[in-house]
Structure 1
Amino acid sequence: MKRNNALKMCISLLICLIHVLPFYVLLTSSFKAVDDPSSKWIMPGYLYVDNFTNAWHEAHLGTAFANNIAITAGAIVLVVAVGSIAAYPLARFKTGLNKFIYALFVSAMIVPPLTILVPLYKFMVDLGGMNSYWGIILLHVTFNLPVTIFLYTGFIDTIPKELDEAAMIDGSGRLRMFFSIIMPLLKPITATVIILTGVGIWNDYQFSVFFLQQPDARTITVALSAFFGQYNNNIGWVAAGSLMGAVPVAAVYLFLQKYFIHGLSSGAVKG
């Protein structure tokens, strides 16, 4: 028994090490001067912050950060609002039509966005949504709604229906009852949705590179990609820019971590 536990611990540590090593190299490279000959595995004994200031200005990360924040925040608000409201009747009323709609949403999760890129690109051009916040936000909402509805539906299934009945007896309408009683109970799964969709939207490249082509509309991933192509010999600048792009989502995840775990363990993955 002890041997099995030790083996599991070693495997867990190995998996953690595999995930942590790239971030360690990123960190060491970010704080090293350009002419530092030491190995990337050795943490420097100084902090060379010029890499961050140079990357910020040369990659125009200020504009990219503003674009990322606006797009991610707008998409998350719509995904949470539309996804939770749509999932409620699917979870509470198990009619044949609702089961079909739920199956349709679940089946949409397996469709890779790149397979419909050409007609989607033409549609966005005709709609006038290129290089615009609302265009890219609607794209993200559309492709994140299936998994959001799937998660919300499974979580709402675990909430007793007696709460709905008690609220209806007290005179609450369906909409008022949802926002005053059901929505506060959805905090754990809402945190899960925010993390899953937010990280995907923040790190999105496939949509941003095609639909946000103007320099002032670029997101962080596209800006860093162009920056890396121009300064691929200056690893310190590139590493510093990548680190700045990763810090916000890491901070949000750490802040919402306990809700994220609670959401998954409280029936969020139930069908």
Structure 2
Amino acid sequence: MIISVIHIMPFYLLTTVSFKSAADMSSKWLPPTELYFDNFINAWEQAHLGQAFVNNIFITIVSVLLIVLLGACASYPLARVKTRLNRFMFLFFISAMIVPPLTILVPLYKFIVDIGGLNQPWAIILLHVTFNLPMTIFLFTGFINTIPKELDEAAMIDGMGRFGLFFRIIMPLLKPVTVTVIILTGVNVWNDYQFSVFFLQNSESHTLTVALSSFFSQYVNNVGWVAAGALLSSLPMIILYLFLQKYFISGLSSGAVKG
């Protein structure tokens, strides 16, 4: 209960401040006496959140789709074909999870510049897919291990090929863990700052985190505008979680059962 309150408290403060006008000098802990929506209008216009939202939505959707598809396709043979090579590859993918992206930022930046990816959405999508695949493969492989192999054998006896078996039988069974992957990777990509601030330097290619960072530095004294901008940027992921939360825990626990 105490932990829940600690997590909810910042969001409560963000909400109360975002709906208060600059003339409202009451405590930030008190709810506003009337809802003041101009903060949201000003934040949207001054921070240029419209273009940033479009960039964020495009990058997040494409990244998550590629992460889910590539992660599931890679995990199926790793889970079903128990060879030393596959075991090594699985451990190799998992070990990549412990590498902090910022430790390789300099060679990564040089690589992106060399391939002409600076300020290009496809380059940041490539980075997100690369750094989110290890966790995705870990979850998908663990979940597929819980699906009986007899299901594969029965389908293949009926004349179904490997591709048909995977996409028509296995993939629909991955719904819980797929939702978990969508939420985890979606939040990571949506809230990314470490890559976006270095590789999306053009104002037209800014994502929400970069746009809000510039906005905060300019309007740090106008707390209502800053709070409204932050609240607007967080709403899509909150809504996504509320719709998919019933699958989230089951997929996360099932995906970690076996490795």
What are the Cα deviations for residues 227-262 of structure 1, in whole angstroms up to 9, with x where unaligned?
000000000000000000001000001111011112
Task: Using the TM superposition, give the Cα deviation of residue 81 of structure 1 relative to its aligned residue in structure 2, in angstroms.
Answer: 0.4
TM-score under structure 1 normalisation? 0.94
What are the Cα deviations for residues 45-104 of structure 1, in whole angstroms up to 9, with x where unaligned?
101000000000000000000000000000000000000000000000110100010010
Matched position secondary structure for 1:109: helix
Which among 77, 86, 89 is matched to residue 74 of structure 2? 86
Which among 33, 46, 53 is matched to residue 65 of structure 1? 53
| 1:56 and 1:62 in contact (8 A); partners too | yes
Quick one: which amino acid aligns to residue 147 of structure 2?
I
Equivalent residues in 2 for 1:179-258 (5 A)? 179-258=167-246
| 1:189 and 1:268 in contact (8 A); partners too | no
Matched position secondary structure for 1:206: coil
Matched position secondary structure for 1:175: helix
Q: Distance in 2 between matches of 1:143 and 1:265?
A: 22
Task: Using the TM superposition, give the Cα deviation of residue 270 of structure 1 relative to its aligned residue in structure 2, in angstroms.
Answer: 2.8
Which among 30, 35, 41 is matched to residue 29 of structure 2? 41
Coordinate RMSD, CA, aligned:
0.7
Uncovered stretches (5+) of structure 1, i.e. residues with no partner: 1-12
Task: Using the TM superposition, give the Cα deviation of residue 269 of structure 1 relative to its aligned residue in structure 2, in angstroms.
Answer: 4.7
Which among 8, 18, 41 is matched to residue 6 of structure 2? 18
| 2:53 and 2:208 in contact (8 A); partners too | yes
Aligned to 1:138: 126
Q: Do residues 158 (structure 1) and 137 (structure 2) align? A: no
User: For the structure 1 residues 127 and 267, does the alpha-carbon distance in structure 2 shift closer, same or farther, using more than 3 Å as the test?
Assistant: closer
Uncovered stretches (5+) of structure 2, i.e. residues with no partner: none
Q: Distance in 2 between matches of 1:36 and 1:267?
A: 49
Matched position secondary structure for 1:181: helix
Q: Distance in 1 between matches of 2:68 and 2:38?
A: 39
Quick one: which amino acid aligns to residue 57 of structure 1?
E
Q: Would you identify which runs of 4 or more consecutive aligned residues in structure 1 move more than 6 Å?
A: none
User: For the structure 1 residues 29 and 185, does the alpha-carbon distance in structure 2 shift closer, same or farther, using more than 3 Å as the test?
Assistant: same
Aligned to 1:147: 135
Task: Using the TM superposition, give the Cα deviation of residue 35 of structure 1 relative to its aligned residue in structure 2, in angstroms.
Answer: 1.6
Percent identity, aligned pairs only, is: 69
Task: Using the TM superposition, give the Cα deviation of residue 215 of structure 1 relative to its aligned residue in structure 2, in angstroms.
Answer: 0.4
